Structure 1
Amino acid sequence: MPRPLIGITTYVEESTRYGVWDLPTSLVPSGYYELVQAAGGAAVLLPPDEPGAAAEVLGRVDGLIVAGGPDVDPARYGAVRDPRTGAPATVRDRWELALIGAALESGTPLLGICRGMQALNVALGGTLIQHIDGHVDTPGVTSWHPVRPVPGTRYAELVPEEAQVPTYHHQAVDRLGSGLVASAYALDGTVEAIELPGPEGWVVGVQWHPERDTDTRVMSALVEAASVLASVRTAVPVG
């Protein structure tokens, strides 16, 4: 079997300088695709498209990573904007929420990372805390803190011990979306991982940045789930 193909959503920047160029760019930190590859998958980037294309795009990948990035627009979960919330990322919100919806409908394995976890929660009707004091100290600098798994969850099966994770965020899950359960917490009670329970499907969100770590356990589980989907697709005759 070929390696399962994992789609990764991209950051969208209006101005990115590289070489002699300064242009609008869709990009992703290399840690994302490197971790996918280390876990046994192949990676492809999914820049924004029309929401109606989400199902078509997911039909060509075996798993989905919704990457980190800017704050989800509070209007998406019916909240008034806090002055500390970042500017709306309208293009990303529209595309990634469509991808999440299509992944849930099609059973495509899904991993939300940081913003991606928050977008997953919002897609299922949940809300966010728009600012948590003390969770971001130095702009652009990753910090590490422990998270504790919730026994009986998929995350706890993968990482049964308290683990130090790399983190950079100022928002967090507030009310959980429909069907979601919290599967890890920070010591201060912040929700650090969420998932859809049950044997069907593979849907997990983590608030931290596994692409900045060497621990491949969560990513390997995504790739394994994607491999199962890929084998099913291969076995089904076309036409």
Structure 2
Amino acid sequence: MTTYLDQAHSGIWDVRASFLPAAYLSGVSLVGGIAMLLPPQPADPGAIEQVLHRLDALVITGGKDIDPARYGQHPHPATDDPGRDRDTWEFALLDGALKRGLPVLGICRGAQVLNVAFGGTLHQHLPDLIGHEGHRPGNAVYATLRVRTVPGTRLAALIGESAQVQCYHHQAIAQLGEGLVVSAWDADGVVEAIELPGDQFVLAVQWHPEESLEDARLFAAVVDAARRYAGQRMVT
């Protein structure tokens, strides 16, 4: 699981640190997986290979906005200052994971990373597009939205026709990356999930499944895919 790299407070300390909210770890451990944290660091190709060799799946987690330069845009006034170290690290991990056939789950920012990696673009500030702040109410309060899945997609097979989900995002997928398909929308016409068709498990949701672990089906799915990947690797 990828992590943040930001200023953090702990007791008397106020330092730059790598961290991840515990809910993500709970999502993996709840369904029998083992979480390993992948803090942003120099994305040397050899290091990326060593890291991925030890993993059975990759989860790209939430966080600050991607540098708009990666999809050919200038920053919107509401876009976060770029965290280029994390961007570089996660795009390199994703590229290596896709080449290996490693299962991938993207969460919020992770969906945007997946889309941009395939040549897609983002809406940098959803309120400009849809006229309200309903996807990110603010003050760390998650919005509850209903999403509808696209029939025939992997996501539809996992969660059914629709689901109530927890959202906190002000950006969203604009032009879809080449080769990807949309697997869920919300009532505003915002893309809420994308995936890569085929046998490899590559699925990303714009919402935060770690915030509603009474429904852990997405975490269960990526952990199951990790078990299959590990089993195949042992055979070969």
Q: 1:91 offset after TM fit, Å?
A: 0.6
Q: 1:47 offset after TM fit, Å?
A: 0.7
Distance across 1 between alignment mates of 2:196 and 2:55 = 20
Q: Secondary structure at the residue paired with 1:225?
A: helix
Q: What is the TM-score of this pair, normalised by structure 1?
A: 0.93
14, 20, 23: which one pairs with 2:15?
Answer: 23
What is the one-letter code of the residue matched to 2:11? G
**Unaligned stretches of 5+ in structure 1?**
1-7
Deviates more, 1:50-59 or 1:31-40: 50-59
Q: 1:20 offset after TM fit, Å?
A: 2.4
**Unaligned stretches of 5+ in structure 2?**
128-132
Distance across 1 between alignment mates of 2:40 and 2:9 = 20
82, 85, 108: which one pairs with 2:79?
Answer: 85
Distance across 2 between alignment mates of 1:59 and 1:174 = 33
Distance across 2 between alignment mates of 1:55 and 1:129 = 32
Q: Secondary structure at the residue paired with 2:37?
A: strand
Runs of 4+ in 1 over 4 A off after TM superposition: none
Q: Secondary structure at the residue paired with 1:46?
A: coil
Q: Secondary structure at the residue paired with 2:82?
A: coil
Distance across 2 between alignment mates of 1:20 and 1:137 = 31
Distance across 1 between alignment mates of 2:138 and 2:174 = 24
Match of 1:206 in 2: 205
Aligned residues: 227
CA displacement 1:103-125 (0-9 Å, x = unmatched)? 11111000010001101100111
Kindly indicate whether residue 193 of structure 2 is the aligned counterpart of residue 193 of structure 1.
yes
CA displacement 1:86-115 (0-9 Å, x = unmatched)? 100111100000011111111100001000
Q: 1:178 offset after TM fit, Å?
A: 1.5
User: Against the structure 1 CA distance between its residues 178 and 55, is the aligned structure 2 distance closer, same or farther, given a 3 Å change threshold?
Assistant: farther
CA displacement 1:56-75 (0-9 Å, x = unmatched)? 21110100000100000100
Q: 1:137 offset after TM fit, Å?
A: 2.3
